[in-house]
Structure 1
Amino acid sequence: MSAVAQGRRLAGTVVTEDGAEIVVYTHGSPDAEATVVLSHGWTMSALGWRPHIDALTRPRPGFPALRAVSYDQRGHGRSTRGRAVLDMEVLGRDLEVVLRQATVPEDGPVLLVGHSMGGMAVQQLAALRPELFGTWVSGVGLFSTCLDEVGPVPAEPPDRPAHRRTHAERWVADGLLRSPSWAKAVHRLLTGPLSHPSAAPLWRALFGPGPRTETVRADARSLRDIPPLTVAEFYAALTLHDCAGRLGALGRVPTRILVGAQDCYTPPAQAARLADDIPGATLHTVPHQGHDLPYERPVLVVETVQALLRDLRERTRSPEPDLALPMAAAQ
């Protein structure tokens, strides 16, 4: 990792095997009790974590100051796209590189927190490198994300409305990739007039009720900075995400899941399936919130990180089972 201006809290740039330059930011003291790695969602950037980072790195009575690491996903913010075909597995590999370069487990617990696409990156890492969980990674927070197909839960027998929506999403993704002019038109529509609240209804239709006008503006600003075809490539990748049956490693560490009750992009039913796939995971459904939950409720995110630390302390205090007793009895 190349050292750069610490005054801007820019820790450095990680270069992946396919040439993507991933920009990494560090915040807080390296002597903190724990480190939190924050992985943002589709069309967002590391800047979206600023309120959470300010709260996490500032000591308060009963809550220690933590170290925080954030980064721009490839093709987002200040990170470059690289040459690889974009899929969720690539993002999992990117997260591993960031994790290894920016954290040292010997200095204290490392917690991974991911929102939406960032949560999928955490899942992909767990599926690809399960040995990191319980050794390098000590806790996980998954916010507004899903186990596999974005949108409605796959039903048995097939639910026709859900099937139609899934088919439509993949048709839209394919169309965006095939038609640059269409991708640009959708891009302009979503970014909208940033100074006018008329953009808000469209975002609410996509992500569920909840986002205030200022949140919509922040979303639109982040999206405006990403090339339309890169947005389309990531959208196509999101529709193919699938970690079902591959997340056993997350059962080794405290895992907490948050979802907005009115999230229609990664809905509560998907969050329930995710929780069922992770042994011991805790699921919290937040009333009156949509997909922008972490940005609408930053305090709740900070409280969840602190809860993960409490979970870790409780595990440390709990005595290990005495495996020698059955052997002695058998003799």
Structure 2
Amino acid sequence: MDKVLVTGGAGFIGAHFVKRILQADDVAQVTVLDALTYAGHIENLGKAFLDPRLTFVHGNIVDADLADQLVQSHTAIVHFAAESHVDRSFFKAGTFATTNVLGTQTLADAAMRHGIQKFVHVSTDEVYGPLLEGAATEDDPLRPTVPYAASKAASDLVALSYHRTYGVPLCVTRSSNNYGPYQHPEKIIPLFVIRLLRGRPVTLHDRGQHVRNWLHVEDNCAAIELVLRGGTPGEIYNTGGGTDLTGRDLTGELLRICGADWDAVTYVPDRRCNDLRYAMDRTKIADQLAYRPTHDFGTGLVKTADWYRNNPDRWAPLSRNPQAPMPAVHIAAPRQERDHHAV
């Protein structure tokens, strides 16, 4: 792999992947390109930020000149950068379309021009839309229902078109709901944990009947690395976690872990277009790349809750103001020569 460009590498999943890939002996350089929006923070990289092989670039994937400059000096791209919260997409659909679709096209265009050796585009199970029964395979049609999922489906198609039209060696991964430490508190698991630890109530939509599949972030990163190294260009790989839970069941687990009871739960009307169930078949990646999730959900959930319990300085500022930047006291300031593309 040699030199890997990771977009969105200061985000939740991206930062976990950066830490993982820096452990590989065959990786000489990792460049993180991140716009540092509300969901991206250098602190997520932890000690990895100080690794001499890591370069941090503050910039946006829709910046064609910057993308071209970075891609030409790398051999592989792992593309996480995206607007990713469903509720926000209801009010900022244009931002989601710009970042997720145009940003992907900008990177793919640069990859085509510079002969990148491997491009992994990271996507979501939500592109398949709701399934009342069964599980989606990689060959199933895309039926997204909300602006976020539609923008990701469109970005998948744009990415794959660059393989089919121009031969860019590109793969797509689609994961189910990720959980783990460092996740932004707008997401349900950290949101509920934080509120319950503070003795505050949590809310469930409708009757809490919506089903989601849960995948530990480190298992997802392991799958992405497998695809980066051995995935067949032009192919799509589903990376589900194997743990399906209704919102009510998940809430019950979090109540138990946080020492709360059902008196802390209130029910609210369902949000608009809340898909009842997502489900993916991960047979392909298991058979072709020997992928198996290794994190037990119960254990992983306890460790995730413990991280939020033990690190209030990391999440408290965000829970007060989700748009506020993280305080800069948790890590040494970036060395000027390593932030040489800051914009």
Query: Would the TM-score normalized by the shorter structure come out above 0.5?
Result: no
TM range (shorter): 0.3 to 0.5
